[in-house]
Structure 1
């Protein structure tokens, strides 16, 4: 993969970031610049898959967990994302990163057509939607139809920004086009390149259509998107639109543990990964631990000891309990709330072989549970409960496989899952607000899956987060979006400003994205 990794690097160097880089013209006209067009489509696939998987882990750890209160960097002041200290440089970095992947996968798509590689043509469409959906979900309106075409005939360095509605409609069309190609069972030429599905078009098709359900759910608050009709079309014709049916279908990239096929945090020590900075937040602890009337911890979510680790310092945590730090704490509070707080489980999450999941079966079942409860699909509350319990079981079973890697062995039995489903943490029957229950448990199940929990929170406004007193950098408002970078506003101002005018907002982190609950209400 070293050769392939270098190939992707070349691609990233020349990637077009929607016409927003100051040296755009030079990059596109310099005759001494090597272009990715000189390689095979298959030469781009493996780096896109593996490096994309590393990106998913990194953004989950760096951005999602801090914004959504899975963790908080209270071990110092070098990182303050949990206090919403997010700069234009951050906006630029995130914009450029997703754009580079969108550009490279679009180029792979073009190459696949030129080289008549139908398998990679379909995969490119799926991956394009995967990357670009995150870009639009973070920023709002973005270029889509005119993105990455500066070198094509009639292309532009100043692409128009389309509304999120238009972007979603185009993403849906791309996923449906990919589904049709997968159905023809095209040959994946070299299965060993595919560390997720081994070249199985059937498995990729399930991922493609499950991703479609994810994005339908994202816009389900918008009546004009006719989400119920679209979901039922999929569910009523499983032979045409197969979706995940078990954890065996999970979109999980497997790492061998040998460089460069390693987990993003393979060479990261426990201090830099968690104990010196990112600690488990009290929001996560209160949703996974039950206490009695005397405030004794009497029961915990069976997944907690796999994703987390108690602080073993007896002087800081003499009772050996789960302690969460305070997300959004003030500078004065920081040292106090950091005392004795629990860590991420480095032995599990930062193993060289630890895989990345883009999407799993549990998420699909949560999607169906919510859809049934709201009447978007048939079955009502009876079906919703079954989907919900399937989702819980799938999530716990997924994490149970990693219990063997914890410093203290964690084993989870079927009885443990039954007990959890009957507990006050997860019981369907003992929770009156079923919509909140589904959203809360989905939030937990999305741990370590990219930016999904952040997206879902803005869509549902669950779980009910406590915004800390130290979140002064965005006026104590959890970022509703990221702003367009300064370079974007400078080099493509007319189109970027038109996008802001369309949503009647400022270029800040307080303007809600179109599909969010805040925008709809």
Structure 2
């Protein structure tokens, strides 16, 4: 009888424990199965923030770095993104990720209104735009005005696809609405939940408006969007439109390292992260290393040994050089091209508390440098130079903080930054093409920030990438967009087909998105 009582008691405890744990997982790490009213709006905030930051890091490593030649997977043929082997399953996973997070942000927005959580109402709009901007930038025309309405009265399971121009205009409206809510100084009730800004609404407001600048810059090649006027309005009204003013404002999520607040790569090792897979490319090395006529490496960008590390095997790298593998190399030449190639710096990235960044101050300064250079905002070349040098400095200083985690800790001084700004790699005064210089240095500064370098490459054409002779899977064309998944084409075919006709192409990775340099140059 005593044994039976013990069994019953243990069974009860296990049942209660499982129920609590299951509830925690459901509410705090997977909000995708919830419905309006089941939980508080604050219960959705952490998954949107932390899981979103992890997705940003994963997409940097998995997609962005391979497409824009930061890295190339040369550990076999299981992964061939750098050869543009991208399937419908890949399109589906990317589509699902961005729509899932945007849907959850809208869900949090609805609950915030019901529960009168004004701070979360504003944050939900900012995050919705963050995720939806990446969806449209990856695919082109997407549902926005009718998206995620199926659970509402008069909603639809077959939303129309809005033209990308209309998507951007609606995102601008959402960001303006969020800015107005932030201006009321709402109180974030549970600051401990916020691993980015600790509930500081002024910093969230800066992120919101800096994101607005990013999106204005994205469509700046379209004169009808009148982006210069809007940028100038933001800059002339810092009280109404505060933006990032230092690295202290960076939209960076800090992980504690304790479950469930752990980095995407917590359980990775150097082998699966880099040495047996993704290596640095010759594209990245040539943009960060100066060599003399004899091949001696005489100078390197101070960020490079934080981004990556030289191959430590003296048998394949006897001279201890930075060497990049070839993105898009034919399969039969892969082993030769890869010999001695440098790795990602796993000691920096593979940590349970490694941070994830959505946007930083350096990007804002690059945006303003380009805008001034092109006359979209006042100031001309002199102001452009100031913003440019601020941008490079901010980027180096941001990465300098991570130098402590390298196997051999790396320290970057102000003198090192001055040297970089006067070097052949980054000198403003010595550059004959200032627009290219901004584009190239922005590319380097966007390392490890989601898909931004890929988006910017399609917008500007910088840096000049060499398409490898093994990039056969998209006819040697770097993907201009991702194609709509088969499921989307099957379940919402009429609207998807209308979008494809509008964009002027088939459902392939060769149709340029509306804001891209290619579309503008081709008059599409």
How far 1:144 sits from its partner (Å)? 0.3
Distance in 2 between residues matched to 1:4 and 1:60, nearest whole Å: 28
Q: Quick check: 1:105–1:127 contact (8 Å CA) kept in 2?
A: yes
Distance in 2 between residues matched to 1:8 and 1:286, nearest whole Å: 44
Q: Quick check: 1:512–1:518 contact (8 Å CA) kept in 2?
A: yes
Q: Quick check: 1:374–1:380 contact (8 Å CA) kept in 2?
A: yes
How far 1:192 sits from its partner (Å)? 0.2
The answer for the alignment partner of 1:11 in structure 2 is 31
Q: Quick check: 2:281–2:326 contact (8 Å CA) kept in 1?
A: yes
Distance in 1 between residues matched to 2:401 and 2:70, nearest whole Å: 21
Distance in 2 between residues matched to 1:350 and 1:233, nearest whole Å: 41
The list of structure 1 runs, each at least 4 consecutive aligned residues, that deviate by more than 3 angstroms after superposition, is 1-5, 8-11
Q: Quick check: 1:59–1:451 contact (8 Å CA) kept in 2?
A: yes
Distance in 2 between residues matched to 1:368 and 1:37, nearest whole Å: 43
The superposition leaves residues 100-120 of structure 1 with CA deviations (integer Å, 9 ceiling, x where unpaired) of 101111100000000000000
Q: Quick check: 2:29–2:51 contact (8 Å CA) kept in 1?
A: no
Q: Secondary structure at the match of 2:357?
A: strand
Tell me the number of residue pairs that the alignment of Structure 1 and Structure 2 aligns.
501
The answer for the alignment partner of 1:416 in structure 2 is 416
The answer for the alignment partner of 2:374 in structure 1 is 374
The superposition leaves residues 348-379 of structure 1 with CA deviations (integer Å, 9 ceiling, x where unpaired) of 01111110110000000000000000000000
The answer for the alignment partner of 1:383 in structure 2 is 383
Q: Secondary structure at the match of 1:152?
A: coil
Distance in 1 between residues matched to 2:234 and 2:397, nearest whole Å: 26
Distance in 1 between residues matched to 2:71 and 2:29, nearest whole Å: 31
Q: Secondary structure at the match of 1:176?
A: helix
Structure number, greater radius of gyration: 2
The superposition leaves residues 154-203 of structure 1 with CA deviations (integer Å, 9 ceiling, x where unpaired) of 10000000000000000000000000000000000000000000000000
How far 1:37 sits from its partner (Å)? 3.2
Written as runs of structure 1 = structure 2, the 5 A alignment for 1:117-196 is 117-196=117-196
How far 1:503 sits from its partner (Å)? 1.2
TM-score normalised to the size of structure 1?
0.95
Distance in 2 between residues matched to 1:101 and 1:399, nearest whole Å: 28
The superposition leaves residues 454-499 of structure 1 with CA deviations (integer Å, 9 ceiling, x where unpaired) of 0000000000000000110000000000000011111100000000
The answer for the alignment partner of 2:217 in structure 1 is 217
The superposition leaves residues 132-155 of structure 1 with CA deviations (integer Å, 9 ceiling, x where unpaired) of 000000000000010001010110
Distance in 2 between residues matched to 1:353 and 1:36, nearest whole Å: 32
Distance in 2 between residues matched to 1:350 and 1:185, nearest whole Å: 37
How far 1:36 sits from its partner (Å)? 5.0
The answer for the alignment partner of 2:50 in structure 1 is 50
Q: Secondary structure at the match of 1:332?
A: helix
Structure 1 residues 106, 389: closer, same or farther in 2, change over 3 A? Answer: same
Gapped regions of structure 2 (runs ≥ 5): 1-19
How far 1:8 sits from its partner (Å)? 5.5
Distance in 2 between residues matched to 1:133 and 1:4, nearest whole Å: 30
Distance in 1 between residues matched to 2:302 and 2:29, nearest whole Å: 41
Written as runs of structure 1 = structure 2, the 5 A alignment for 1:414-493 is 414-493=414-493
Distance in 1 between residues matched to 2:427 and 2:25, nearest whole Å: 47
Q: Quick check: 1:129–1:174 contact (8 Å CA) kept in 2?
A: yes
The answer for the alignment partner of 1:29 in structure 2 is none
Q: Quick check: 1:404–1:410 contact (8 Å CA) kept in 2?
A: yes
The superposition leaves residues 283-316 of structure 1 with CA deviations (integer Å, 9 ceiling, x where unpaired) of 0000000000111100000000011010000001
The answer for the alignment partner of 1:504 in structure 2 is 504
Distance in 1 between residues matched to 2:292 and 2:164, nearest whole Å: 46
Written as runs of structure 1 = structure 2, the 5 A alignment for 1:37-436 is 37-436=37-436
The superposition leaves residues 406-456 of structure 1 with CA deviations (integer Å, 9 ceiling, x where unpaired) of 001111000000001000000001111000000000000000000000000
Q: Secondary structure at the match of 1:480?
A: coil
Q: Quick check: 2:363–2:446 contact (8 Å CA) kept in 1?
A: yes
The superposition leaves residues 65-84 of structure 1 with CA deviations (integer Å, 9 ceiling, x where unpaired) of 00000000012111000000
Distance in 1 between residues matched to 2:261 and 2:32, nearest whole Å: 19
Distance in 2 between residues matched to 1:37 and 1:299, nearest whole Å: 59
The answer for the alignment partner of 1:19 in structure 2 is none
Choose 253-262 or 186-195, whichever is displaced more. 253-262
Q: Quick check: 2:149–2:156 contact (8 Å CA) kept in 1?
A: yes
Q: Quick check: 1:4–1:46 contact (8 Å CA) kept in 2?
A: no
Q: Quick check: 2:365–2:388 contact (8 Å CA) kept in 1?
A: yes
Distance in 2 between residues matched to 1:129 and 1:4, nearest whole Å: 27
Distance in 2 between residues matched to 1:189 and 1:452, nearest whole Å: 32
Q: Quick check: 2:108–2:124 contact (8 Å CA) kept in 1?
A: yes
Structure 1 residues 4, 307: closer, same or farther in 2, change over 3 A? Answer: farther
How far 1:10 sits from its partner (Å)? 5.2
How far 1:248 sits from its partner (Å)? 0.3
Q: Quick check: 1:481–1:510 contact (8 Å CA) kept in 2?
A: yes
Distance in 1 between residues matched to 2:283 and 2:504, nearest whole Å: 33
Distance in 1 between residues matched to 2:102 and 2:366, nearest whole Å: 28
Distance in 2 between residues matched to 1:68 and 1:419, nearest whole Å: 27
